């Protein structure tokens, strides 16, 4: 095994104890999204990047999504196919996703880094704007990948909103011809209404960050389709809840924001009764995903793993000044267990 990839300690949640310099949940979240991990893996994980090819995936019903796929080298033993899904306004090169993808690829998995609709500069691929209930096209994208990469087992790993999508692949995929051996949600937004409220009432830094991202993507959509959209009225809205209410009415088929949010709300009971195995990793101090959303969830039924360490922020889990990520080690352990059980 490459020494750079060896586990550096226990992956049990109680053993994830970042030093006090890194313990703050806001700092953990910022380091997860903006820290130097991607640059480190640019140096250490160049094999995945060298093998990557961009694909425009036919997802059915005229929908196209972009993804970056990396096969293992010819002749290598392939452990399976891992599909990674970024968070809201992320993309295939987001720090947290890129670092995880390099780790998974280095362990012998083929990797697809999927861009959701209107993410990663793909605003011109599809006319209708992205919203979080567009599940059929994500399943369609995975089916499209499996047409040219049939490696088994299939695993899906998602972060934040992408964690919600990943868990829905596990819940809804088997009925649609997509059967993952494991779907993993990291800091998954399982109650989107609670997440919107947490952003609106939480640290101003996060509200400004997410609202700024929202406005940029609306501008990019408007530029990609000149004369088709006018998002000007959204510029002055200061609340995520209010913005969502308006967007649902203007650009979705749902009669209310409650119906829209309900379409991708996941309860602990639903998760434990999933038709395929699931794993969830979240932090009790996550500033945008309230830990109370997971009340009643246990590692039983279809949930083979539910880890909720006291610290970690949102998609952070940075455990030392070398910017190593405890959640990555935990995922690698889950994948190793899965591979050994196949």
Q: Residues 239-270: pLDDT tens digits? A: 889 999 999 999 999 999 999 999 999 999 99
pLDDT of residue 42: 63
Check whether 234 has a pLDDT greater than 90.
Answer: no
Whole-angstrom distance, CA of residue 37 vs CA of residue 42: 9
Taking residues 64-84, report their average pLDDT: 96
Starting from the edge strand earliest in sequence, which strands make up the sheet with 182-186, in order? 52-58, 64-70, 109-114, 80-85, 154-159, 182-186, 278-281, 303-307
Structure tokens of 36? 């130097």
Q: Could you tell me the pLDDT band of residue 3, with boundaries at 50, 70 and 90?
A: very low
Whole-angstrom distance, CA of residue 282 vs CA of residue 327: 9
Structure tokens of 24? 């703050």
Nearest to 193 by CA among 290, 119, 271: 290
Q: Could you tell me the pLDDT band of residue 11, with boundaries at 50, 70 and 90?
A: low
pLDDT of residue 1: 29
Question: Structural domain boundaries of the chain?
Answer: 16-200+267-341
Tokens 């209708």, residue?
A: 128
At 24 the three-state DSSP class reads: coil
Check whether 8 has a pLDDT greater than 50.
Answer: no
Q: What tens digit of pLDDT does each residue of 277-301 get?
A: 999 999 999 999 999 999 999 999 9
| Percent of the chain topping pLDDT 90 | 80
Check whether 44 has a pLDDT greater than 70.
Answer: no
Taking residues 106-119, report their average pLDDT: 97
Residue 340 to residues 43, 50, 178, 335, Cα–Cα distance (Å): 29, 28, 22, 9
What is the CATH topology of the domain spanning 16-200+267-341?
Rossmann fold (3.40.50)
Q: Could you tell me the pLDDT band of residue 46, with boundaries at 50, 70 and 90?
A: confident
Q: What tens digit of pLDDT does each residue of 139-163 get?
A: 999 999 999 999 999 999 999 999 9
């Amino acid at each position: 095994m490459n020494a750079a990839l060896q586990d550096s300690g226990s992956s049990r949640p109680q053993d994830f104890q970042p030093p006090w310099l890194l313990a703050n949940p806001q700092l953990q979240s910022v380091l997860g999204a903006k820290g130097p991990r991607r640059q480190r893996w640019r140096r250490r994980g160049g094999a995945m990047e060298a093998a990557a090819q961009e694909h425009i995936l036919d997802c059915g019903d005229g929908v196209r999504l972009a993804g970056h796929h990396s096969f293992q080298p010819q002749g290598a033993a392939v452990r399976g196919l891992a599909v990674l899904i970024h968070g809201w306004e992320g993309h295939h090169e987001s720090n947290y996703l890129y670092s995880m993808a390099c780790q998974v690829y280095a362990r012998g998995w083929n990797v697809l880094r999927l861009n959701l609709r209107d993410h990663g500069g793909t605003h011109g691929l599809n006319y209708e704007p992205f919203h979080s209930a567009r599940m059929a096209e994500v399943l369609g994208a995975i089916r499209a990948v499996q047409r040219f990469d049939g490696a088994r087992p299939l695993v899906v790993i998602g972060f934040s909103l992408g964690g919600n999508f990943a868990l829905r692949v596990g819940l809804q995929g088997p009925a649609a011809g997509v059967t993952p051996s494991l779907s993993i949600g990291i800091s998954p937004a399982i109650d989107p209404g609670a997440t919107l409220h947490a952003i609106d009432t939480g640290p101003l830094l996060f509200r400004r960050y997410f609202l700024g991202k929202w406005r940029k993507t609306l501008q990019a959509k408007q530029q990609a389709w000149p004369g088709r959209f006018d998002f000007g009225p959204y510029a002055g809205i200061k609340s995520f809840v209010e913005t969502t209410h308006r967007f649902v009415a203007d650009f979705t088929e749902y009669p209310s924001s409650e119906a829209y949010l309900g379409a991708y709300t996941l309860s602990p009971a639903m998760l434990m009764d999933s038709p395929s195995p699931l794993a969830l990793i979240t932090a009790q101090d996550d500033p945008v995903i309230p830990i109370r959303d997971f009340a009643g969830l246990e590692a039983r039924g279809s949930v083979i793993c539910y880890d909720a360490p006291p610290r970690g922020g949102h998609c952070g889990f940075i455990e030392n000044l070398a910017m190593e990520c405890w959640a990555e080690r935990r995922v690698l352990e889950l994948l190793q267990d899965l591979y050994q059980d196949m």
